[in-house]
Amino acid sequence: MSLLVGVRNRFTAMTGRDCPAVEIAPGTAAIAARDVTYAVDGGTKLVDGISLEVHPGELVAVLGPNGAGKSTLLGLLTGDLHPTGGEVLVGGRPIGELGARDLARHRAVMPQSTALAFPFTVDEVVRMGRAPYPGMPGDESDDEIVARCLAETDTAHLAERVFPSLSGGEQARVTLARVLAQRAPLLFLDEPTAALDLRHTEDVLRLARARARRGDAVLVVLHDLNLAAAYADRIALLARGRLVACGAPEQVCTAPTLSELYGHPVDVLPRPGTGELLVLPRRDAG
């Protein structure tokens, strides 16, 4: 049985609490931008004619220099922004057809930062991920789901702490736990590793890749080229609001492409023993 058919069967079999709002037919993208444009300030295009798909079972990383349009594109794909041109499709349906709760059951979003005005505990924050499924039966209880997501993100020991008292990295991991608890088949992660140390950075990307391997569609915005090359199935490179390249890491991560994109010379080398791509900026000896 193919991955996509298996994913569809899993979605069809799910009931109650974790039933997604949109059934994704085999071969259909979980999320798709079709020639999407977003213009502001009298016509300035922050996103300019981008077409991009993310399918169930894959992790797509979006990269590019500052101001490339990464976060704006993410806002369009999540439904937080409305395109001024083109369209965004969720499982083949226009995103505007989905209500707020249906959208929350289909996609979960980890923003760059989370600000909470009230002193919620970590446990309460993670339980917010269960909000789209009030009073509905499921294959696991909320307590079981929350406990597992806290464990996966190494935040179980923080469960009774007040969220605003945490460090930036701890808050990021708790926010990821909330996103995982939502159990949506489409995940959006906006620079999830920005505040994390080495160990937790790797943990987050391993979790994202594991969700994709279980059949979810995952899109992650990153700045770290080496992380993207190590974990992503495909990499989309943006510059000045346009998609300049999209493909497997070995197709996209070439020295000429990246040097031009970032305006700085780089070398791309195979890692000894694994062949994993390493992107290294060139530095003057002096």
Q: What is the pLDDT of residues 251-260, one digit of tens each?
A: 999 999 999 9
Cβ atoms of 153 and 174 within 8 Å: the answer is yes
- In this predicted structure, the answer to whether residue 10 has a pLDDT above a threshold of 60 is no
Q: List C-alpha distances in Å: 27 to 42, 51, 77, 88, 141.
A: 38, 17, 19, 17, 32
The number of angstroms, rounded, from the C-alpha of 153 to the middle of its chain's C-alpha atoms is: 16
Distance (Å, rounded) from C-alpha 215 to C-alpha 141? Answer: 21
- In this predicted structure, the answer to whether residue 220 has a pLDDT above a threshold of 80 is yes
- pLDDT for res 16: 38
Residues 259-271: tens digit of each pLDDT: 999 999 999 999 9
Percentage with pLDDT > 70 across the chain: 90
Q: Can you list the domains of the chain with their CATH numbers? A: 3-254 (3.40.50.300)
- pLDDT for res 15: 33
Distance (Å, rounded) from C-alpha 53 to C-alpha 66? Answer: 22
Residues 115-139: tens digit of each pLDDT: 777 899 999 999 999 988 876 666 6
Cβ atoms of 64 and 70 within 8 Å: the answer is yes
Query: Cα-Cα-Cα-Cα dihedral of 22, 211, 169, 143, to 10°?
Result: 70
- In this predicted structure, the answer to whether residue 154 has a pLDDT above a threshold of 60 is yes
Please compute the mean of the pLDDT values over residues 101-120 and round it to a whole number: 87
